[in-house]
Amino acid sequence: MTTLTPAATELTALLAHRRSPALGAFLPAGFPNWTAGIETLRAFTRHGADFLEIGVPTPTPTLDGPDITQAYTHALSQGAGMAHVLSTVRLAASSTGVPVIVMSYWAPVREFGATRFAQDLARAGAAGAMIPDLPLPEAAEWISAAHHAGLHTPQFVPRSVTDTQLDDRATAASGWLYAPAVSAPTGYRGDLDLCAFRAFTAQLRTRSPLPVVGGVGISTPRLASQVAPFVDAVVIGSPLIRPLLDRSAGGLEGALEQIRSFAHALHTPAPQHADPA
């Protein structure tokens, strides 16, 4: 990798040697609309988010549940595209002072051009991009382009990963390894098998020195507190998007209350033997 961009360096520093996990907040670019989306991201950082994850809207979010899918659909209906993503990254990064990571499926990146995507993200001030459905046999162009641009390439590690696949993802990763708490689409609101999740994160740490970031299924502050001993950060998305989709659930203030509650939970983690029920 060439020299990291200042944003990527900042992300590395944020996740290094933490006493409690960092909190990441996810929002699709262009949702609820372009202007409101920027203000929402800024508000997230004022109320406890340590970094931001901005989603690239797509009509086929195969790993996402109904909440994020609906948010993507809403953004696309208003014309959100890669230009909106790059503008959102630029404004969020420049006005919040926290690291910004982009989350995109592979199809939009392939269509836009992997090298162009990496260069434009670096210019916009992103710290990197995670592509959860990145087909590793086709990954070389993206990984090379991102590294030459000084960006991190966090890797999503499915719970069903084989040892060989895990080694491949660990090799391709920089910034972090992403550990879903469940093998389910985003928005899952059931209980977690904490013993299994602890074992999974421990397995990731045997393969890579990178930070481990948890998400998918960490649906409440209570669950965030319970997984806190196993991870270096937690990213939440659906708990923030639900109130923004349904004003009766609180709108922006409801989303900010979620941010505050999750941030508090991560700073006061439950004992590792906590009952997951």
Q: What amino acid positions are annotated as catalytic residues? A: 53, 64
All residues at 6 or more sequence positions from 187 whose CB lies less than 8 Å from its CB, including other chains: 64, 65, 66, 67, 68, 219, 238
DSSP conformation letters of 66-99:
HHHHHHHHHHHHTT--HHHHHHHHHHHHHHH-S-
Distance set, CA 162 to CA 63, 166, 167, 196, 216 (Å): 19, 6, 9, 16, 20
b/e per residue, 130-169, with b = 16+ CB within 10 A?
bbbebeeeebeebbebbbebbbbbbbbbbeebeeeebebb
Q: How far is CA 181 from the centre of its chain?
A: 13
CA 100 – CA 72 distance, rounded (Å): 19
| Token duo for residue 207 | 């393969």
Evaluate whether 94 touches 267 at the Cβ level (below 8 Å): no
